[in-house]
Structure 1
């Protein structure tokens, strides 16, 4: 009997590729044939980041494929408006051609398409091919609930037709959901301006249509974390926290090579002593803010592991950075990327200074790590509200009058979060709840079993 062939498509961003790659590994483990489709640019980045000798045709049994995003090689993909608009116009047709090419080459007929909900503009063309459609929402259920309520928010005059806030208010869609300011909606940056206006807001506004096309929408969350949002939209099935494998060894589509030295470095540190600092794949810091962060970490007097991407800051004095690295060499380790799940699972980590992306949030929660929250844009403000106001497993950093998180603020908040026994205990309780959910009999476990049953039909 042939395996059911499933095609999986993420939006072209690291925070979307990771959970869909984790889901792909799980499906392969359950006997499905999986083809994972990235845009050509992200596909090339994933291949370059793999360890030497990994091969290029598959990752752990997952077939890797790519389609054009419609932009020229030298065009700026950090312009989210341009990228989103191009993907919207070009990816559906390119995906249709890829499916035809796979079947012409003798691959099994595609039975199911599991698409990132933010790439829902591909759903109609897939369904037209006779392929059934399911979707994974890679952010929080609360974020999805907010997008699904866009028509209501416009009707009530809280936001305008193009996503701009009409009134400066704090709203809560239902009990148990985090409070959210109208100036910090999931499609905005920290100044209250819509990100990549208008293309991203247009996609956000069409989420209702995308969810109607999909036969099921699963999300990387769990019931105890988001009981309010999941009660508001009971058709969203939480199957998280997602992870590729119990040993956290399988590659999950990282765009940068992992520096494996950091695990050995952590092994030599005492339990709950290390401050782990990582801001995801998109945050950019101005040189002044970068220096304040660096000196603040030094002033804590604690060992720290800091992920500094090659493009994390622009215009920084290289001599200053070299001198800083030498000064903290015995106390801190700076890497360009790492296996974050392995790091957060390590006994030596005391707290997580985080941008509060949803993958990072779920990884920290699953490992019982207290947070220091430093959001950058989009849904990260909503996730901060969960951590600081609902779950109370971390604290926020506060900018000064110039919008800078100072070295003194960072040092003080690190000491506060690490020294707070109540935060540590709540983080431990959430860790236990998350692990119960993904264990046999747990709610996420049962939802995943139902999802597998549907894909097997």
Structure 2
């Protein structure tokens, strides 16, 4: 990495954090939001990312005329994933990132500390899958903390793996249930869930489960587990470990300097033209997409509704490039964009409901916007988040699949109409929004607590 990427911090009185996100948008965006909060408190932050994402962040910031806070510096290391590789192949990315970055990491720490000799790295903050950096930092005598970009409940589920194995609930090879029991309760004050909602259950079970069994041991080297959530949203989770600290909700600022995907801002002007609480917003995040047959059913379901909709259909490698709109789909009532400023959309008065994959960032933003959900989870912690949305908070509904495993156009039409006609659900969504906004003060207190610990 060129030395010009290193900048010396002049103020020596505050902590210097090295923040490291696993190189996917769902980890990078919230960690950058958290870094911005730390910067507003006068802390110094060096954000380490992959070479590819470093270039994307710099280009996006320059294109939008935005500047990252002066207390935040970006540095990069290669992650070993080539341009010909599929970045949706998570086992490959996890293994490549660990082997490639960890080899260069000690030299990076040495260079950063040489360039900032009076303000050396105080604490390393990592997201999931980057626990190796905590381990290396621990050997160097540097404090460590985990920033968890998903729900606190999903973190407690990973932390409960050894206990679940010991109690004979799941096996030790891939985390699958070994009894006929279909439900699980991680703790007495946590909701009862389908065992299939555990976040390792619907991925590449053998690799991911074995990886997380080891990863959670490494993540325990972090003295704090910081979560983008609030105590009231998931109160039961915080009885599991004293390390858990809610510092949410983290919501991007108006400038949105943390997004490096090109946003189509024309959708905001389009929303301004729609009646209040009339638009169905559809987005499945940055990683998952419906398969072609399901994509067509979704398009025809939106057509059947005959209501205004805003639909995010990503472009690029591995993202809907083989999907085609059915001939019957006119899209005349809607607007389709490649990427969108989601926080602004979910806070817009024209939005009526959110068809979501239930990723945690989307869940937090939807709750913060007071919008009812239609839950369409794919994998990982999304099934667990659906349980909270539908069964605990009661601010959304799920879809039922037909005999072919598809969510039919008729099912989409029926459930959207059901949510739009449910006044009580809308009231619960508004009350949940008010609660989360009030919880911001608690998040700020916990942030102060964390910063004070880093100064010690």
> TM-score surpassing 0.5?
yes
Are the equivalent residues in 2 in contact too, given 1:7–1:34 (CA < 8 A)? yes
Q: Deviations over 1:235-275 (max 9, x none)?
A: 30111111243xx32322x3421111111111111211111
Kept in 2, the 8 Å contact 1:23–1:244? The answer is no
What is the rounded CA distance, in whole Å, between the counterparts of 2:385 and 2:282 in structure 1? Answer: 17
Q: Using the alignment, how far apart are the partners of 1:172 and 1:87 within structure 2?
A: 34
Cα RMSD after superposing both structures: 2.0
* 1:345–1:367 contact (8 Å) kept in structure 2: yes
1:181 aligns with 2:194: yes
1:46 corresponds in structure 2 to 57
Structure 1 position 307, deviation (Å): 0.6
Q: What does residue 256 of structure 2 align with?
A: 250
Distance 1:300 1:218 in 2: 41
In structure 2, what is the equivalent of residue 445 of structure 1? 444
Where 1:72 maps in the other structure, the secondary structure is coil
The residue aligned with 1:265 is: 270
Deviation at 1:179, TM superposition (A): 3.0
In the aligned structure 2, how far is the partner of 1:180 from the partner of 1:35? 39
Q: Partner of 2:322 in structure 1?
A: 315
CA contact (8 A) 1:195 1:378 kept: no
C-alpha distance in 1 between matches for 2:59 and 2:377: 29
The residue number in structure 1 matching 2:357 is 355
Query: Per-residue deviation at 1:402?
Result: 0.8
Between the aligned partners of 1:4 and 1:183, the Cα distance in structure 2 is 42
In the other structure, the counterpart of 1:396 is: 398
Query: Which of 158, 170, 179 is equivalent to 1:167?
Result: 179
Check 1:417–1:335 CA distance in 2 against 1; reply closer, same or farther (3 A cut). Answer: same
Partner residue of 2:108 out of 94, 98, 110: 98
Q: Distance in 1 between matches of 2:449 and 2:116?
A: 30
Conserved 8 A contact 2:134-2:219: no
1:213-362 superposed matches below 5 A: 213-245=221-253, 248-252=254-258, 254-310=259-315, 311-317=318-324, 320=326, 324=329, 327-329=330-332, 331-362=333-364
Q: Which residue of 2 aligns with 1:377?
A: 379
Give the match for residue 152 of structure 1: 163
Q: Which moved more, 1:347-356 or 1:66-75?
A: 66-75
* Range with bigger deviation, 179-188 or 366-375: 179-188
Contact between 1:134 and 1:214, CA under 8 Å: does it hold in 2?
Answer: yes
Determine helix, strand or coil for the equivalent of 2:91.
Answer: helix
Is contact 2:123-2:143 (8 Å) kept? Answer: yes
- Give the corresponding residue for 1:64: 74
How much has 1:83 moved relative to structure 2? 1.3
Report the Cα distance in structure 2 between the residues aligned to 1:212 and 1:286, rounded to whole angstroms.
37
Distance 1:160 1:255, change over 3 A: farther
When normalised by structure 1's length, the TM-score is: 0.91
Decide which of 155, 176, 195 is 2:204's aligned counterpart: 195
In the aligned structure 1, how far is the partner of 2:16 from the partner of 2:379? 36
SS at match of 1:110: coil
Q: Which runs of 5+ in 1 are unaligned?
A: none
Distance in 1 (alpha carbons) for counterparts of 2:409 and 2:375 = 15
2:310 match: secondary structure: strand
CA distance in structure 1 between the partners assigned to 2:107 and 2:240 by the alignment: 38
Aligned length: 439
After superposition, the C-alpha distances for 1:58-91 in whole angstroms (9 at most, x for unaligned) are 6233211211113333222221111112223232
- The SS at the match of 2:379 is coil
Distance 1:279 1:263 in 2: 19
Q: What is the distance in 2 between the residues matched to 1:206 and 1:290?
A: 36
In structure 2, what is the Cα distance between the partners aligned to 1:403 and 1:234? Answer: 41
